[in-house]
Amino acid sequence: MSSDEVLIVTSKNELLSFGYIYDNIGKEVVYEGQTYSLSKHGIRYIYPLLFLGYPTQSPVTKPRKPVWTTKLGELTLIISDILQI
């Protein structure tokens, strides 16, 4: 998908999957008629691998949610979380 294309998603899972891919930063996605642009990709929690590193220095993934921007009238909203009703 190039940066000029706009992806239309139909479910929240699709939207979130889009938000966890680093290459999608700056790309736009349409969900329920609202256009979202990914400004920061999310990071999923990965269970630490056994025997990786020293016992006191095992790497831990710090998860975070994707950050989106969307337009609402003349305002630009920075969205940090999306919840289903």
Partner 1 sequence: MFKFLLIWFLVNYSYENVSDTYKSYKIENSIQEMSSFIDKQQFREDQLRGHCNLQNFVMKDKPTYYDDILDFVIDVKHTLITPLYRKLIHSLNYPELISTKQMNATTYEDFMNLSHTPDNKGKEIIYEGYTYILLHSGIKVDANVYNYSNQLSYPIPKNPIWSIQLGGHIVTISDIK
Judged by the rule CB under 8 A, the positions of this chain that interact with partner 1 are: 12, 31-34, 67, 70, 72-85
- Assess contact for 6 and 35: CB atoms under 8 A: yes
Minimum CB distance to partner 1, residue 11 (Å): 11
Minimum CB distance to partner 1, residue 49 (Å): 32
Minimum CB distance to partner 1, residue 66 (Å): 12
CB atoms within 10 A of CB 7: 15
Q: Which is nearer to partner 1, 33 or 59 (CB)?
A: 33
Ordered strands of the 28-31 beta sheet: 6-9, 28-31, 34-40, 67-72
